[in-house]
Amino acid sequence: MMDTAIAFPAMQVVDRLVAECHRFEVSAIDPDIAGQLAAELPLEDFVRIVRTFEDDLGRLAGQLEAAVANGDQDGYRRAAHSLAGAAAAVGARRLEHVARLGMDHRAQVDPRTISLHVQHEARAALAELAALADNPPGSA
């Protein structure tokens, strides 16, 4: 079980870490990865990947939230690991970064903060992927 008595860094510190991340990665997705998938795969395959990713996000974000609510540290790390893997597969780099912070016990980031940022980054990544599906590279 998760030790909720741990003194996590202040909310502002986490926000700063994520903001730093944003400063260098202006887009929620990595164009080298997501763009390449969109360019190399038939549209229906790319759309299927985005839908699978959307399903994964809904399921894993829910698991993450439930683990936080129940103080389930193992469940929390498993969900964060899976989120990082799913995000990496489609190049959702900011989401992957946040999920990896959750996996890293040395970072001691408040799980509730991670959960909030996951939801935010997931929405951003999905929006950009949807835009990419509507307008894949080379289609103009």
User: How many angstroms separate the CA atoms of 75 and 72, rounded?
Assistant: 5
Write phi, then psi, for 101 (nearest 5 degrees): -60, -40
Tell me if 62 contacts other proteins by CB under 8 A.
no
Q: What is the DSSP letter of 8?
A: P
Tell me if 48 contacts other proteins by CB under 8 A.
yes
> What's the closest the beta carbon of residue 3 comes to other proteins, in angstroms?
24
Residues 6+ apart with CB under 8 A from 11: 110, 113
> What's the closest the beta carbon of residue 120 comes to other proteins, in angstroms?
19
What residues line the site for other proteins (CB under 8 A)? 33, 36-37, 40-41, 45-46, 48-49, 52-53, 55-56, 78, 81-82, 84-86, 88-91
